[in-house]
Amino acid sequence: SANSRLSILTRHLTSASATSSSKAGSHGQNLGWIKMSPEVSGALKCGSPIVALESTIISHGMPYPQNFETAKELEVIVKENGAVPATIAILDGVPCIGLTTEELETLARLGSKARKTASRDIAIVMAGRENGATTVSATMYLASKVGIPVFVTGGIGGVHRHGENTMDISSDLTELGNTPVAVISAGIKSILDIPRTLEYLETQRVTVAAYKTDEFPAFFTQTSGCKAPARVESPEHCARVIDATIRLERKSGILIAVPIPREHAASGSLIELAIQQALQEAREKKIIGNAETPFLLARVNELTGGASLASNIALVKNNASVGAKIAVSLAQLQK
Ligand code: PSU
Ligand code: MN
């Protein structure tokens, strides 16, 4: 049955740690090194829909207090659509799946004092008993370890402009190549090289589809000038793609790109101008590596007088609603 397929997948996902931790277990049981909220653990046990949420978007992607408000609202939207939210972060060195409101606030207040944690950084943050805000790559990794197949974010990282020289290519893309989780996002920002990012995703064997459109969206705007490799029409359609991926025992992930709602895309060209200026400043200030994205996000927000933040919040909320519906459809398919 679909359920046994899912438990095979989960066993596969948890087998590596099962050998190293006596507490490690199968579906819905806490791994020794992970702390799971009772809601998430309960939902895993009975196969109820769950949506993973990342935390870099809280700490590094938005200023306080909008980040705290948004983090809470995302969880409400996921619940209203029938799924259990599982915000993922590392607190005092412990990877946590599902945070309390207090923990969300701690992270929101820490801001960039929390370490931006990509998958390669998880061990460093655990060993140093630090607070880590997980990026798409780290959140995918942790979600897959406990068997959560659906993950909602705003935008993923990509191939940076001039990446062919700097080799600055987000590990989000390689994690998508190696981790069977479906990421629901609004595409990628035009601060990145969108055509090269799509090429790289193909090389990484990532299943990419745009939601109800032929074009791959560019985060603040609905269009990027790049055709998406595939199109999906509904949450049910997305769920069937995820279900097929599980049956196929694919080791790579899925990227579902949901365009920003039309009413929030209006300021897109204004934001695009600000992006160009921020990119110029980043080059002048020699801001590189993983400091680049947070710098650009903050600067674009200043330059647009907050318009980019409002758009950002609107699109993540939309993604949360679509993602929760996908998780609900998937749980139904797997009954
Ligand atoms: N893109 C956005 N907003 C974000 C990020 C990317 O539009 O908040 C964050 C995500 O957490 C993503 C990370 O996983 O930045 C990618 O960072 P880097 O480019 O350093 O890999
Ligand atoms: Mn990078």
On the question of pLDDT at 8 being above 70, the answer is no
**C-alpha to C-alpha distance for 215 and 213, rounded to whole angstroms:** 6
pLDDT at 69 > cutoff 50: yes
What are 237-246's pLDDT values in tens digits? 999 999 999 9
Is the pLDDT at 22 greater than 50, yes or no?
no
Summarize pLDDT for 88-147 with one digit per residue, the tens. Answer: 999 999 999 999 999 999 999 999 999 999 999 999 999 999 999 999 999 999 999 999
Task: Please report which confidence band the pLDDT of residue 159 belongs to, taking 50, 70 and 90 as the band edges.
Answer: very high
Q: Is the pLDDT of residue 28 over 50?
A: no
Q: What is the 3-state secondary structure (H, E, C) of 28-66?
A: CCCCCCCEECHHHHHHHHCCCCEEEECCHHHHCCCCCCH
Question: What angle, 0 to 180 degrees and rounded to 10, lies between the N-to-C axes of helices 307-333 and 292-303?
Answer: 120
71-75, 82-86, 209-213, 293-297: the lowest-pLDDT one = 293-297
- For residue 97, what is the DSSP state? E
Structure tokens at 309: 């933040």
What integer best gives the mean pLDDT of the chain? 91
Ligand approaching nearest to the C-alpha of 135: 1
The pLDDT of residue 268 is 72
> How high is the pLDDT of residue 191?
84
Q: pLDDT tens for residues 196-234?
A: 999 999 999 999 999 999 999 999 999 999 999 999 999
Residues annotated as catalytic (active site), given as ranges: 54, 189
Neighbours of ion ligand 2 (CB under 5 A): 168
Closest CA to 15 of 24, 28, 6: 24
Asked if 228 and 209 count as a contact pair (C-beta separation under 8 A), the reply is yes
Q: What is the mean pLDDT of residues 62-88?
A: 98
**Residue 190, pLDDT score:** 85
Token pair for 198 = 């799509």
Of 53, 55, 57, best ligand 1 pocket probe by most atoms within 8 Å of the beta carbon? 57
Identify whether the C-beta of residue 178 lies closer than 8 Å to the C-beta of residue 172: no
Average pLDDT rounded to a whole number, residues 52-60: 97
Residue 14 confidence (pLDDT):
43
ipTM of the complex: 0.98
In the prediction, which pLDDT does 266 show? 65
pLDDT score recorded for residue 30: 56
Number of H helices, E strands in the chain: 15, 11
First to last CA, the chain: 8
Ligand 1 interacting residues, C-beta cut-off 6 A: 54, 56-57, 61, 118, 135-136, 154-157, 170-172, 189, 219, 290, 293, 297
The yes-or-no verdict on residue 186 having pLDDT over 80 is yes
pLDDT of residue 15: 41
Pocket test for ligand 1, best of 53, 56, 137 (most atoms within 8 A of CB): 56
Q: What is the DSSP string of 259-319?
A: PPPHHHHTTHHHHHHHHHHHHHHHHHTT--GGGHHHHHHHHHHHHTTTHHHHHHHHHHHHH
Ligand 2 centroid, distance to 313 Cα (angstroms): 23
Distance of CA 25 to CAs 13, 91, 123, 187, 293, Å? 11, 22, 20, 35, 37
- E strand residue ranges, 67-198: 84-91, 94-97, 115-117, 132-134, 150-152, 182-185
For residues 117 and 132, is the Cβ–Cβ distance under 8 A? yes
What stretches of 118-268 adopt beta strand conformation (E)? 132-134, 150-152, 182-185, 207-211, 231-232, 254-257
Q: How far apart are CA 85 and CA 65, in angstroms?
A: 20
pLDDT tens digits, one per residue of 254-313: 999 999 999 988 677 788 889 999 999 999 999 988 898 889 989 999 999 989 999 999
- Token pair of 44, please? 């895993």
pTM: 0.91
Could you tell me which residues come within 8 angstroms of residue 321 by beta carbon, excluding any fewer than 6 positions away?
77, 81
